[in-house]
Structure 1
Amino acid sequence: MESILGFAQDHGQSRAHSESMARPASSRTVFVNGRFLGQRITGIQRYAREVLAELDEILAAGEGNGINIRVLTPRGISAPVFRAITVEPCGRFEGHLWEQWDLPWRVRDGLLFSFCPTGPFVKKRQVVTVHDTSVSRIPTAFSRRFRIWYELVVRSIIRRSPLTVTVSRFSAGEIAECYGIEPGRLRIATEGWQHLNRVSPDTGILDRHNLAGKAFALAVGSPTPNKNFSAIVQALELLGTAAPCCVAAGTVDPDVFRVARFAPNAIVRVGYVSDEELKALYQSASCFIFPSFFEGFGIPPLEAMACGCPVLASKTPAVREVCGDAALYFDPNRPDELARLLHDVFADPELRRRLSAAGLEQAKRYSWREGARLNLKFMEEALCRS
């Protein structure tokens, strides 16, 4: 795993460990921004929940060098039950107002750690996790109001933070370039897929959409311009009567994203699905398509590989970093390339078998536990540096 995270800067962590042993217990507390616990689970929320759960397991096992984690949330949020991590509802507000007013007041001089990219604008002693730079690189995929707010808050925070966390070597380079942060203050964690091990596939979704026993391609994500679902539509149109059925799972947030428009009936839309339903789709699909123009990591293709589903992915750097040699790649601006790959995969059972086996091996290189251990190191370092 260390080779995957080669960009991460490890200098200073041994010094952080020795210095932390001399600190009083109260200074070993890390406050976690728990606003994400009240949000619908998409990629960032998935990362935050899974890393936090693994951190709880690590601390409950007596590891962590005495670090105490307290998750702060708005009141009324249903939080998981942890063994070693404390959850503390606080404040009077919710949403952005809670994060910008109640949260910094409660933390005051403590260290605040966020698994998401936003935090209190006025808080200096904090670490955020910037998953990608899509707001800067793909501005048309976001509303103007959201772009202004995001750029203001995130730029301000990471320029004052002792360090900033991200999830891939590609994203680290992008953050350094877009936000002017020196690489020495960037740290790289990782993501995983093991949440799918906790659920059993719900095949009812196949029956409801007439997919049982049917060969189909699968795409997962928000149908925004950046996710590039239109490339799938165009590829299907190019294949004509030879086009396979294609299923798209996911929803869109109209307050943040601009909705892309698709050709009528080009894709079977099944909407937002549960983990159980998603697992059934991954295990039943003939292949998984990930045509995104830009990603910071890309959990869906990793999930697909872990379920043995062959992956066709765009040639975006972060996705190639995650999938390695276990996927077939196409230019996201070339629907004809995707059409050719779709034809080949559906026509060749042996190709599907090879891709499935390669994907299962590639997925073994990633885990939420490793991501949690890395974040724990970053918390310890931030305690000493801030």
Structure 2
Amino acid sequence: MKILINGNFLNRNLTGIERFAWETCRRMDALLTKEDDFSILIAANAKTFPEFKNIKIIISPYSIKSFPKWDMGIFKKACKKLKATGLNFSNTAPKGKFCGLSFIHDIYAADHPEDFTSLKDTLIKLYSCFSYRNIARNARHIFTVSEFSKKRIMERYGVSEDRISVIPNGWEHFNTVSEDDGIFERFPVLLERDFYFTLGSLSRRKNLAWIARYAEKHPEEHFAISGKAISGLVPPELEALKNLNNVTLLGYVSDGEVKALMKKCRAFVFPSYYEGFGIPPLEALSTGCRAIVSDAACLKEIYSDSVNYINPDSTDVNLGELLKQEPKGVQEVLKKFTYDRAASLLLDKIRTVCS
């Protein structure tokens, strides 16, 4: 069994997919034995270079200037040369028989094509949908992160159940994050009044429209919203939020600032209408923060009774009243969804498929 990990995630910003790849590889490395032959191909211009004990590091002489060129050309040739099966974490993979073992975290671009409007984002949508189909047709085995995503992939692309496995996300990286209260020096208003906190890239599926409508209806409530805009996926509601006196737009915040905000806020609000998994509420629960989560997509599957739920299409709710309903089973959810478990499940499945 010779596995070559696609290290393209080391050239991307550390968001959900990249975090999953990084944390799972670290833990899988600790589980490997002498019988396992795992390597990772890393581009010359990677943002970071990991240190592994058992996974061999291969530094490519090539830089990533185009992710399709890397996946379809450089990584494919490396798999062929090493006679290795590729392991792809980032929703993309080489075309055809070199597709290998590949993750499809969700099929957002296929399920919500209307969210991709600019020329750049139309190209992203087309490449994403091409990648979904390529992996669905050609991967030796497909991995995804929730039963919801598994069902959507099977329904849309006709994938049989025996070709796809669920490897869920985790949250333990947050244990190593130190709180950074500097965010309150930058935004002292957050020390002066209670606030709800919302975290996420400012893309359409994060559903800022819900926050905008609710905040406008409830001027007595305050909202702090973090996140960096993603190209043309920025919703028009962002402009409306800028004009609301009870909304503080934080821009990019560090992990340490996120943790400080979660510990201070009245509740973490996550109104997304589409998620393959949704890590931020797990991070919030790990700090002792209450979480208010959309009841759409995979989120009820993941969070069960550990959070309070809202309808992502309706603001006919009072968040203060909602928080009077005490959650149940928070620790059970935190124990169930861990990167340690993800690494163990992934490695077991790889050994089974490739034996």
Task: Using structure 1 for the length normalisation, give the TM-score.
Answer: 0.84
Distance in 2, matches of 1:379 and 1:361, equals 27
2:154 corresponds to 1:176: yes
Partner of 1:13: none
2:90 corresponds to 1:116: yes
Q: How far 1:195 moved relative to its partner? A: 0.3
Q: Structure 1: give runs of 5+ residues left out of the alignment.
A: 1-27
Distance in 1, matches of 2:89 and 2:78, equals 18
Q: Secondary structure at the match of 2:191?
A: coil
Q: How far 1:123 moved relative to its partner? A: 4.5
Distance in 2, matches of 1:130 and 1:196, equals 24
Which amino acid in the other structure matches residue 209 of structure 2?
A: S
2:62 corresponds to 1:92: yes
Q: How far 1:122 moved relative to its partner? A: 4.3
Ranges of 4+ aligned residues in structure 1 off by more than 6 Å: none
Q: How far 1:139 moved relative to its partner? A: 1.0
Partner of 1:45: 18
Q: Secondary structure at the match of 2:104?
A: coil
Q: Counterparts in 2 of 1:51-90, with a 5 A limit?
A: 51-59=24-32, 62=33, 66-77=35-46, 78-90=48-60
Q: Counterparts in 2 of 1:201-220, with a 5 A limit?
A: 201-210=179-188, 211-212=190-191, 214-220=193-199
Contact 2:202 2:234 in 1 (8 A): no
Among 224, 228, 237, which residue is 2:216 paired with?
237
2:106 corresponds to 1:132: yes
Which amino acid in the other structure matches residue 374 of structure 1?
A: L
2:353 corresponds to 1:382: yes
2:225 corresponds to 1:248: yes
1:204-239 per-position Cα deviation (integer Å, ceiling 9, x unaligned): 112211123641101111222211111011111112
Contact 1:91 1:98 in 2 (8 A): no
Distance in 2, matches of 1:46 and 1:251, equals 17
Contact 1:124 1:157 in 2 (8 A): no
Q: How far 1:170 moved relative to its partner? A: 0.9
Q: How far 1:259 moved relative to its partner? A: 3.7
Partner of 2:78: 106
Q: Secondary structure at the match of 1:332?
A: coil
Distance in 1, matches of 2:344 and 2:229, equals 32
Instruction: State the identity %.
Output: 28
Partner of 2:311: 331
Distance in 1, matches of 2:142 and 2:206, equals 26
2:150 corresponds to 1:146: no
Q: How far 1:92 moved relative to its partner? A: 2.4
Q: 1:53 to 1:265 in 2, by over 3 A?
A: farther
Q: How far 1:258 moved relative to its partner? A: 4.5
Which amino acid in the other structure matches residue 349 of structure 2?
A: F
Contact 1:72 1:90 in 2 (8 A): yes
Q: How far 1:189 moved relative to its partner? A: 0.6
Partner of 1:365: 336
Which amino acid in the other structure matches residue 235 of structure 1?
A: Y
Contact 1:308 1:360 in 2 (8 A): no
Distance in 2, matches of 1:253 and 1:217, equals 22
1:168-195 per-position Cα deviation (integer Å, ceiling 9, x unaligned): 1111101101121111211011111100
Q: 1:73 to 1:48 in 2, by over 3 A?
A: same
1:314-334 per-position Cα deviation (integer Å, ceiling 9, x unaligned): 111411111110111111110
The number of residues matched between the two structures is: 341
Distance in 1, matches of 2:332 and 2:155, equals 33
Which amino acid in the other structure matches residue 279 of structure 1?
A: K
Which amino acid in the other structure matches residue 76 of structure 2?
A: P
Distance in 2, matches of 1:38 and 1:74, equals 8
2:282 corresponds to 1:302: yes
1:86-142 per-position Cα deviation (integer Å, ceiling 9, x unaligned): 221114241322222111111113100012210122453511111112111111223
Which amino acid in the other structure matches residue 162 of structure 1?
A: R
Q: Secondary structure at the match of 1:84?
A: coil
Q: Structure 2: give runs of 5+ residues left out of the alignment.
A: none
Distance in 2, matches of 1:127 and 1:258, equals 32
Distance in 2, matches of 1:67 and 1:111, equals 13
Q: 1:359 to 1:216 in 2, by over 3 A?
A: farther
1:338-369 per-position Cα deviation (integer Å, ceiling 9, x unaligned): xx1x23257x5xx5xx44x7434432221100
Contact 1:140 1:258 in 2 (8 A): no
Which amino acid in the other structure matches residue 32 of structure 1?
A: I
Task: Using structure 2 for the length normalisation, give the TM-score.
Answer: 0.91
Which amino acid in the other structure matches residue 380 of structure 1?
A: R
2:197 corresponds to 1:198: no
Distance in 2, matches of 1:238 and 1:81, equals 51
Q: Secondary structure at the match of 1:326?
A: coil
Q: Work out which structure has the larger RCO, using CA pairs closer than 8 Å and 6 or more positions apart in sequence.
A: 1
2:207 corresponds to 1:228: yes
Partner of 1:31: 4
Q: 1:129 to 1:197 in 2, by over 3 A?
A: same
Q: How far 1:53 moved relative to its partner? A: 1.0
Contact 2:285 2:330 in 1 (8 A): yes
